Amino acid sequence: MSSGRALAHPRKGKIGKVLFPHRGTIWGVMGVVVFLFARPQASLFWPGVLCILGGELLRLWASGYIKTYRGPMEEVGELVTSGPYAYLRNPLYLANGIIGCGVVLLSGILWALPLFLGSFVLLYGSIIRAEEAFLEEKFGAAYREYATSVPRFVPRLLPYPKRKGTFAFEVLWKKESTTLLTLGLVVLLFYLRGFGVLRVLDRLLGL
């Protein structure tokens, strides 16, 4: 991927605008498929857990700076350039990618990794184009300057100098508690799938 500093054209990103509200459902369906065909291995399982922990820590850091990240784009009230957003423009999506790679490692089926990464690029590529067009239209020159200085995914070494936004712990409790519980359940289910009672699915599915 390039540095990601080019802005989206305002007319682009229509597909992303449609996909944006359904991104959680899309990943959920893919996760169920991976779970059914999973063959967890100890050598991959625990590195997968570490990936998930690292990705969630980044999510917690990023989500504390924005108030409406689970709502529609139109609810964005300010251009946040502090915290992880001072280093890259899409820390939440990067975190989701790290978590997704961790889930693939939990599953033990490495052929799912290129499928996940391809889906990740297609889905979030469309969503990011839609978001960039919206943010440029709403915040104008301020966003253009920010987007020119801060890459999409590859962090810059020094933080963006014009930082704006504060960390709010109440956002984490309201928005990320469900994510934490879900990820804990995912790790438990994959553990049982590979090393516990859910291994019976292999016989039921003829694997």
How far, in Å, CA of 158 to CA of 118, rounded? 30
- Inter-helix orientation angle 23-36/177-195, to 10°: 10
pLDDT 10s digits, 150-184: 999 999 999 999 999 999 888 787 788 889 999 99
Write the pLDDT tens digit of every residue in 94-143. 999 999 999 999 999 999 999 899 988 988 888 898 889 989 999 999 99
Give the pLDDT confidence score for residue 8 in this predicted structure.
46
Q: How many Å apart are CA 38 and CA 203, to the nearest integer?
A: 13
CA distances (Å), origin 152, targets 87, 110, 128: 9, 26, 9
Are 123 and 54 spatial neighbours (Cβ–Cβ below 8 Å)? no
pLDDT category, 70, cuts 50, 70, 90?
A: low
Q: 62 or 14, which is more confident?
A: 62
Contact 35, 193 (CB under 8 A): yes
Q: What is the pLDDT at residue 2?
A: 34
Torsion region of 151: left, alpha or beta (phi above 0 gives left; psi -120 to 50 gives alpha): beta
